[in-house]
Amino acid sequence: MQKIPTMFVRDFDNNPAHVLPKVTPGCAWVLSGEGQATRKYDGTCVMLDEAGNWWARREVKPRKSVPRNYIVLSVDTETGKTIGWEPIDQSSFAKFHAEALQAAGPGGLSTGTFELIGPKVNGNPEGVDAHRLVEHAAAQHVSVPELTFEGIRSTVVALAGADGCEGIVWHHPDGRMAKIKARDFPKA
């Protein structure tokens, strides 16, 4: 899984780097209505590969060593972070992943990516009472009535205010994706 591009261009001249009302190259298809919008869950990304191995997504800051058995996917040219996968058993989320697997029961999960959410994951912004895995391919569909910068901003901010939703991920039928988070926008 490659890092999903942010729908709008980031303003790296400001801290924090909020987005500008300019579409990131390669993401204009979202404004054309070509994709399906889904909820972006706020946890940590994990993957079950074809061989039955679990991996945790991890970003490594510039000038830091990558962990052993790490699979590099890409390097973010803006931040210098290396994006990749580490075996779940060496991740700081291993215990919580094991709890989520136990709760899921035997044999119920298919190959793909999931969001690990729960009480001990990122402060539990999803507000769930147990660790669980949410399959990205089955993420809740959301409606974005107006596909403009302001329309997307107001939808994402409203979703976040309603139940802590982190943001939206759009899925194009050809496999492309784009995302936006509520924290990408400056506070009004």
Q: What is the pLDDT of residue 70?
A: 96
How many CB atoms neighbour CB 179 within 10 A? Answer: 19
Q: Give me the mean pLDDT over the 139-150 stretch.
A: 95
158/182 Cα distance (integer angstroms): 9
* 56-79 pLDDT tens trace: 999 999 999 999 999 999 998 878
Q: What is the pLDDT of residue 105?
A: 79
Domain segments of the chain as ranges: 1-40+140-188, 42-138
CB 7, CB 179: distance < 8 Å: yes
Joined tokens for residue 8: 């709008």
Q: Give me the mean pLDDT over the 7-15 stretch.
A: 85
Full DSSP string of 10-61: E-TTSSS--EEEEEPTT-HHHHTT-SEEEEE-SSEEEEE-TTS-EEEEEEE-
CB 60, CB 46: distance < 8 Å: no
Q: What is the pLDDT of residue 14?
A: 76
Whole-structure pTM value: 0.85
